[in-house]
Structures are given as C-alpha cells and as structure tokens.
Amino acid sequence: GAVVSQHPSRVICKSGTSVKIECRSLDFQATTMFWYRQFPKQSLMLMATSNEGSKATYEQGVEKDKFLINHASLTLSTLTVTSAHPEDSSFYICSAARRTPNTEAFFGQGTRLTVV
C-alpha cells in the first residue's frame, strides 16, 4: 500500500503552547487529507477534511481556530493545535486519499499528544 508519514509520533507540551503535526504522502499525490482524533479504546473521530489549496472543512463541534489545518501541497498537510490544554491530549491520526488507481485512503502512524 501507499505510504503516509506522520511526524512527530509522540509529543509532550506545556499548557498554552502550540504544537504542529505534519502528514506527508510519500509516494502519491493526495487529493484529500483527513485529520482524526482517537480516544483510548474508541474509534476514529473525523475532525476535518482538507483539499489542497482550499480551506479545511471542519466537523461539527471541532473548533477551527484551535485546530488549524494547512494543506499547502498535494503531499503535505499540517495540523496545529493552538493554546493546547490537557483535554487536548489524545491520539491524532492523519489520512491521505487518492483517486487513482483506486479510491483509497491510507493512514499515518499517528501522533500521541500529551499536554501537561
């Protein structure tokens, strides 16, 4: 399958600071990238969808000013958690989708964010 690289895999930050997470599709151009959040033993919750060069579309209940998404190219999307609080601690996963040869989505390895 295609490769999606997510960095960092683990980050600890202080309350009030911002954290940037990168998601790169290494061997294909991703028409769409998705950001998910996952709490322990729960499924993935879609936070936002982004298309290259366009503003991200946020799911209901997700604060767009807190979770800034930039999709600058067909291979890179970033999620910035601004003014992080302990309740933002979670597992964040990105996904990159392609249309050819098949319409498929591949996931990064996830980022474990801990806000202290």
Site residues, another protein (CB under 8 A): 1, 4, 6, 31-32, 34, 41-44, 46, 49, 57, 91, 93, 95, 97, 99, 102-110, 112
CA torsion through residues 87, 88, 93, 94, sign: positive
* Shorter beta-carbon distance to another protein: residue 13 or 45: 45
- Cβ atoms of residues 73 and 12 within 8 Å: no
Exposure string (b/e) for 50-70, b if CB count within 10 Å is 16 or more? bbbeeebebeeebeeeebbbe
* Shorter beta-carbon distance to another protein: residue 76 or 91: 91
Smallest distance from another protein to CB 83, Å? 26
* Shorter beta-carbon distance to another protein: residue 82 or 107: 107
Smallest distance from another protein to CB 34, Å? 7
C-alpha to C-alpha distance for 100 and 116, rounded to whole angstroms: 42
